[in-house]
Amino acid sequence: MIKLFRIKNNCDTIDIISNVISSLSNTFHVSKQAVKIRLCDIGIKEAYGCNIWCDGYQVPNFTYDDGSCAYNETFVIPFIDAVLLSLNSIVDEMMKSQKLLYLESHLIVLNLEEFIGTDIYGNKFIKHEAKKHLNRFCIKMKIKLEDDNHLGERELLFI
């Protein structure tokens, strides 16, 4: 089905994965989350970075290079965690000098034109090609769950 969507729309998997998930969800009468989990189980890595909500909005779809993110790791960082990180003087200085950006719910280490663009209003965004390789310029976070209902500690992985 993914191949069919890609051919029909002449685009990458990252661009159509949301539509594939919706289509499969409707076809099999299951939740989108269930479809996403199954796609991840069979190795469709683009599904990991799809349909993620953080701080009340949907994070733009992304993916990363094979093997760069384990099951309990993420590139999505809530705003409150970024604020708490900025209390560290080194991190605060990096943010002030724009060597570290918080953008689209990601902490970006390499603020390079190759990865980051600026729109006509001066707002920064992650370029489309860069969203396919988030591991190359973003900090990932390790997640530990306390139990099934509560998110526990979050630990940054500077890799």
Instruction: Please give the average per-residue pLDDT across 69-91, as a whole number.
Output: 89
Specify the 3-state DSSP secondary structure of 145.
strand
Predicted pLDDT of residue 159 = 43
User: If you average pLDDT over residues 24-45, what whole number do you get?
Assistant: 92
pLDDT higher than threshold 90 for residue 104: yes
156 three-state secondary structure: strand
Question: Quick check: 57 pLDDT over 90?
Answer: yes
Q: Is 134 exposed, middle or buried (0-12, 13-18, 19+ CB in 10 A)?
A: buried
What does the alpha-carbon distance between residue 74 and residue 51 come to, in Å, rounded to a whole number? 14
Q: What is the pLDDT of residue 76?
A: 93
Q: Across the chain, what does the average pLDDT equal? A: 85
The answer to whether 102 and 79 are in contact (CB under 8 A) is: yes
Check if the beta carbon of residue 59 is closer than 8 Å to that of residue 105: yes
> What is the share, in percent, of the chain residues with pLDDT greater than 90?
54
How far apart CA 24 and CA 27 sit, in angstroms, is: 5
Helix, strand, or coil here: 24?
helix
Report the amino acid identity of residue 38: R
Distance CA 149, CA 153 (A): 13
pLDDT of residue 115 exceeding 90, the answer is yes
